[in-house]
Amino acid sequence: MGQHLSRTVAEGRAFMQVINGQPADAMSGGRIDVVSPSDGKVFASIPAAGAADVDRAVKSSKKAFEEGPWSRMPAFERGRLLTKLGQLIEKNGDELAALESRDTGKPIRQGKADVVATMRYYEFYGGAADKIHGDTIPFLDGYTALTLREPHGVVAGIIPWNYPMQILARVAGAALAMGNTLVVKPAEDASLTTIRIAELALEAGFPEGVFNVVTGYGRDAGAALSAHPEIDYVTFTGSTMTGTAIQQAAAINNRGVTMELGGKSPQIVFADADLEKALPVLVNAIIQNGGQTCSAGSRVLLEKPIYETVAKELAARFGALVAKPHDADGDLGPMVNKKQQGQVRNLVAAAEEAGVSVLARGSIDPTAPEAGFYVEPTLFGSVDPLANIAQQEVFGPVLTLFAFDGEAEAVRLANSTDYGLVAGIWTKDGALQHRMAKRVRAGQVFVNGYGAGGGIELPFGGFKKSGHGREKGFEALFDMSATKTIVFNHG
């Protein structure tokens, strides 16, 4: 696929929601402009749904759960539908990659990588659907006790804009495999692939109402969805603040939630580490997707003897980074929107004003349109662990370096933020690898590596303010279901 498709895809298209198997405009008729982050220009539009649209979608999903063929479908047939959806995603991969890239500003190669991971989620959960089961439990004489894993009912998925297709896939894959029905609210800045994938789900043969999509602003459609009394479970990925609001809304109805709320993830490099292997990974973990990644490796902790050498190497690499339009496939693209561009610029400026030293700055392609939402990648050195830039999630291409002296300080520094999502540990010392992996508070720990290209099979989620509940892997199927215990007294 050439650059051409990612430049022209969806031009002028007025996208529709997918509710009860039909395309649906917002009841109010309101629309939201879809802007290309690469040039700031409007190229399409999506419906601006409100509470009435959400209510329609939830009622449709509830009906599909209670009355539709879905509720009686054998698990292997649900699995087949998911597998079929994965195949359709692969078949339409060029279009989906182009849509995701144009909508979010991410380089087209990242859009393509996202398609591959997305397809894998549907393949994985398609295969898993009929392989999860309950137990029989040794109990009293005269009794037989067993458990079933039952779906919650209607699951609400509130999706962010950074990896829309992948995050939708990990939610939809697990929720649908377990027999739930789904109402998805993608981010107002990145709804296009969600709409296309719901259309493909209909093509795959999912019954109407099983996979509904409402589009709109968080404060309207998102808030109405998380507070809706007929929603049985809410799963959310996004900011800590919005996560708190969604939990409060879901608490009104005492509903369960899964929260994936970002991080300030450390990569800890000991003096004996294989630096040749580590260096490109240290850079990529913060530059991939322009740093707009919940699991971005945004803090690099360097053991004192190697601090100067590694800082110099990283500075050289950071200085060479170039942000380009999504279709030019640079080291990174623009930020997703003006707000995110402003957030990154403000946090960088505030750190500089506070005296944090800038070791290197990448650049913005001089031919990139001025109205695009670009920022310069920035590397900060010798950062005070209590500084704001060391504590707050920037969600941009901004890396902070710290020096540590020995294992105990490495652990203390690694755990010194409110977050606990992912960590990387770099050392050849096997015993140290094990000790560090156990003492770092993070939902995923990588040793001599970082990130996993989607990590479809690997349970993922946070400690501390990074959230709770687990997605991905087989484990997500537990969050997306509830145990029912049945006891027979047969004498």
The 10 Å CB-count burial string (b at 16+, else e) for 456-469 is bebbbbbbbbbbbb
Cβ-based burial of 22 (10 A; exposed 0-12, middle 13-18, buried ≥19): exposed
Q: Is residue 191 a contact residue for ligand NAI (CB under 6 A)? A: no
Residue of 100, 199, 208, 260 marked active site: 260
List 188, 189, 208, 329, residue binding Mg ion (CB under 5 A): 189
Out of 36, 101, 110, 162, the residue judged to bind ligand NAI by CB under 6 A: 162
Shortest Cβ distance from residue 289 to ligand NAI (Å)? Answer: 10
Q: Which of 86, 111, 262, 266 binds ligand NAI (CB under 6 A)?
A: 262
238 near ligand NAI, judged by CB under 6 A: yes
Which range touches ligand NAI (CB under 6 A), out of 80-88, 241-249, 298-306, 313-321?
241-249
Task: Give the pair of three-digit tokens for residue 421.
Answer: 């999502």
- Residue 260 among the catalytic residues: yes
Residue 162, contacted partner among ligand NAI, Mg ion, none, CB below 5-8 A by kind: ligand NAI
Radius of gyration of the chain (CA): 23
Pick out residues in 209-228 that bind ligand NAI (CB under 6 A): 217-219, 222-223, 226
209/262 with CB nearer ligand NAI: 262
DSSP 134-171: --EE--STTEEEEEEEEE-SEEEEE--SSSHHHHHHHH
> Whose CA is closest to 181, among 246, 230, 115?
230
How far apart, in Å, are the Cα atoms of 453 and each of 117, 163, 345? 7, 12, 28
- H helices present in 105-239, as ranges: 108-128, 164-177, 192-204, 223-226
Q: Which is nearer to Mg ion, 186 or 467 (CB)?
A: 186
What's the CA gap between 361 and 365, in Å, rounded? Answer: 13
How far from chain centre, in Å, is Cα 418?
Answer: 19
Among 160, 266, 455, 469, binds ligand NAI (CB under 6 A): 160
DSSP run (H or E) holding 481: strand 481-489
Nearest-approach distance from CB 165 to Mg ion, in angstroms: 13
Which part of the chain contacts ligand NAI (CB under 6 A), choosing from 120-128, 237-245, 281-289, 382-390? 237-245
Is residue 288 at the binding interface for ligand NAI, with CB under 6 A as the rule? Answer: no
Among 6, 118, 242, 265, binds ligand NAI (CB under 6 A): 242
The distance from CA 292 to its chain's CA centroid, rounded to whole angstroms, is 10
List 17, 166, 237, 341, residue binding ligand NAI (CB under 6 A): 237
Q: Within positions 61 to 90, which residues make up the interface with ligand NAI, using CB under 6 A? A: none
Question: Could you report how far apart the first and last alpha carbons of the chain are, in Å?
Answer: 68
- Mapping DSSP to helix (H, G, I), strand (E, B) and coil, where does residue 420 land? strand
Residue 314-343 contact track with ligand NAI, rule CB under 6 A, x = bound:
--------------------------x--x
Q: Kindly tell me which of 36 and 481 has the beta carbon lying closer to ligand NAI.
A: 36
Q: Is 223 helix (H, G, I), strand (E, B) or coil?
A: helix
Q: Is there a contact between 265 and 298 (Cβ–Cβ < 8 Å)? A: yes
Q: Does 103 bind Mg ion (CB under 5 A)?
A: yes
Residue closer to ligand NAI by CB (options 111, 262) is 262
Query: What is the contact surface with Mg ion in residues (CB under 5 A)?
Result: 103, 189-190
Residues marked active site are found at: 260
Query: What is the contact surface with ligand NAI in residues (CB under 6 A)?
Result: 158-160, 162, 185, 187-188, 217-219, 222-223, 226, 237-239, 242, 245-246, 260-262, 294, 340, 343, 393, 395
